[in-house]
Amino acid sequence: MNAREWAVRLLTDVRREEGYSNILLENMLSKTALSAADKGLVTRLVYGVIERRITLDWCLSACADKPLKKLHPFVFDTLRVAAYQLLYMERIPVSAAVNEAVKSVKKKQPYAAGMVNAVLRNLDCRRETLWEELPTGDRGLSVKYSCPESLIAFWRAAYGEERLSALLEGINEAPPAYVRVNTLATDTAAFSAALQQAGVAHRVMSSPPHCVKVQDAAALQTLDDEVKHWYYHQDLASQYCCMALGAVPDERVADVCAAPGGKTFTVAQYMENRGEIVASDLYAAKCDEMERRAKKLGVTMVRTVCRDASQPTPSAMHGRFDRVICDAPCSGYGVIRRKPEIRYKDPAVCRDLPPLQLKILNEAAKLVKAGGVLQYSTCTLNPAENREVAEAFLLANPDFTPRALVGLPDSVLEEPAWCRTLFPAYHGTDGFFIASFRKR
């Protein structure tokens, strides 16, 4: 199969398995013999079609003379892949986009080849004027930004019109690439010098410490093997979260929903690899992967435990930890730029998450010793999963008090000092929420 056919296959798998595109894409690319250029094309097409699916479907429907929903899924995805090339990839010749789509359809669904050719030729002719026909209201916003109307209404109610506009403007932008310097292997100055020598454009951030913004993450693959152990990918928001925890050497820390381990490793470096971190996760395979990554980074203070954080905390672990990280499972609306399929998740299906998050947070609280710190976080933009869970926790746990967060960017919401919502458009981070508490 060529790159375009692989892209169609991946889109089918994402829909069928309801899995995350990044995981399925990584698995597929590792097993194919495609060239680096073709792998890049597959990646661009898969992410692009998922990001712009609503827009693509509207444009294709406007150029077809019969409902496209009746098409075979393979034909529909082939049309989407070709339409994405026509509308968003100027370097792809029209002939290549159209002809490859027609050839592919002829192999599996030959009856549809003529229709595919006609729709794509029509789209090519109308692509400059088609945007003038956008509908009004939320339907028009949905088509323009490829965002479901349900999510638009949800964010408007949660954050207001101005912040909704900022969220929609950034929803399809490539997320910035941040890495955290592995201070157990090098220092920020040496890592920056290595990047400069390799011609990797970057900027060392003033805060949080040891954070580097890289202009092109793919350029990091050109680094020497030794230097590749000097960093790991971690978004700016997650690094702020680790900084806010305030861990110091010789403490005991628990990370109750730890996989894939980024926060665990960063906190270990704040602790200078002295003390203990117990990192737990529901799945044994993820615990094994965290141990593998810890060894690679030189982190020796981490011990992994396979357990369900929502179930009763073992009594032997009660009150044993100075600081506890509770980065709870969430709807993920803050990382749509990285996992574009999340936007199609109906906000209504997230109603069961806050009770689960509160249950996990209540169990995590049992780990904290007197005077210790408990920190709750999510990578979503949903008040019900964020501040409302944190406030419900405080009401149910009078032995905990709010703990002011220090050193974080200013809030754009009316929030108390003990919690912070980070927005991509205002803070340059993923969408993220942090709340901090101290046990009396």
- Contact predicate 372/326, CB 8 Å: no
Alpha helix (H) residue ranges in 217-261 = 236-245
DSSP for 117-166?
A: HHHHHHHHHHTTTGGGG--SHHHHHHHHHT--HHHHHHHHHHHHHHHHHH
Whether residue 84 contacts residue 52, with contact meaning beta carbons closer than 8 Å, is answered with: yes
Whether the Cβ atoms of residue 96 and residue 120 lie closer than 8 Å to each other: no
Residue 262 near residue 379, CB atoms below 8 Å: no
Q: What are 363's two structure tokens?
A: 């169990």
Residue labelled with tokens 């192999």: 107
- Burial, 296: exposed, middle or buried (Cβ in 10 Å; 0-12, 13-18, 19+)? middle
Instruction: Say whether 59 is catalytic.
Output: no
Of the residues 211, 350, 379, 419, which is catalytic?
A: 379
Contact (CB, 8 A) for 242 and 266: yes
Catalytic residue ranges? 379
